[in-house]
Copies of this chain bind each other. A is one copy, B any other.
Amino acid sequence: MTTLEFFYDFVSPYSYLASTRVEAEVAKVGGSVRFRPFLLGGVFNATGNKAPIEVAAKGPYLQKDCSRWAKRLGVPFAWPARFPVLTVLPLRAAFAAEKLGKLVPYSHAMFRAYWVDGRDISDASVVEEVATKAGLPGAALIAEAPGYKEALKAQTQEAVDRGSFGAPTFFVGQEMFVGNDRLDFAVEALASAFA
């Protein structure tokens, strides 16, 4: 158990916040991160959980809370004009990026496009452009994305089967931690696995 699994969806602001430091935090204790994109909407459907935004009172608070976290972490953050967006396409394309050994830079680029630059990452031309600027073959990723429909479903189902109900979800072995605000607990568990 020297690996922390990081399940995330680009549409999740708390996944973005976690993505900005998960590698550094895990490296501090000598571990490694496995990036595992999944479809948060699928998790909500499977578990009966609600997106925070579905509770009216949570909407404005969610934005404030994320801004407070971004300020604390010292990372750029801007609530996108379009929220939520469908992330099935960029998530499927993430598997194509993974096949090239480029899942991590691809994911950082996609998170940044949505949560910093406010781009509409449900749009294939945007995904292609963002991936290309990040040094990936954007057009090829878009072309290959449909072939990863089942892979995305399976990865989402795996997380649900292991207990996930939201994003981000971290696993250290079978120990599960849900939320950007539980990353420190997850890293502690990883550190104790080394002890």
CB within 8 Å of B: which residues of A? 47-50, 55-58, 60-61, 64-65, 68, 72, 160, 163-165, 176, 178, 181-182, 185
User: Pick the contact of A68 from B47, B55, B164, B185 — CB < 8 Å?
Assistant: B185
Give A162's nearest chain B residue, CB to CB. B57
Q: Residues of B contacting A60 with CB < 8 Å?
A: 163
Give A48's nearest chain B residue, CB to CB. B55
Q: Residues of B contacting A49 with CB < 8 Å?
A: 55, 57-58
Contact B181 A61, beta carbon cutoff 8 Å: no
Contact A61 B176, beta carbon cutoff 8 Å: yes
Q: With A and B bound together, what is the CA distance between A163 and B47 in angstroms? A: 26
Can you list 19 A-B pairs with a CB-CB distance of less than 8 A?
Answer: A47-B55, A47-B56, A47-B57, A48-B56, A49-B55, A49-B57, A49-B58, A55-B165, A57-B163, A57-B165, A58-B165, A60-B163, A61-B163, A61-B165, A61-B176, A61-B178, A64-B176, A65-B178, A68-B185
CB A97 to nearest CB in B, in angstroms, measures 29
Q: With A and B bound together, what is the CA distance between A136 and B182 in angstroms? A: 38
Q: With A and B bound together, what is the CA distance between A60 and B49 in angstroms? A: 14
Give A182's nearest chain B residue, CB to CB. B65
Give A43's nearest chain B residue, CB to CB. B57
User: Pick the contact of A181 from B163, B176, B181 — CB < 8 Å?
Assistant: B181
CB A65 to nearest CB in B, in angstroms, measures 7
Q: With A and B bound together, what is the CA distance between A164 and B164 in angstroms? A: 26
Q: Residues of B contacting A165 with CB < 8 Å?
A: 55, 57-58, 61
Give A178's nearest chain B residue, CB to CB. B61
If A48-B56, A61-B165 are given as contacts, then 7 extra A-B residue pairs at C-beta distance below 8 Å, sorted by A number, are A47-B55, A48-B55, A60-B163, A61-B176, A65-B178, A68-B185, A72-B185
Q: With A and B bound together, what is the CA distance between A33 and B181 in angstroms? A: 24
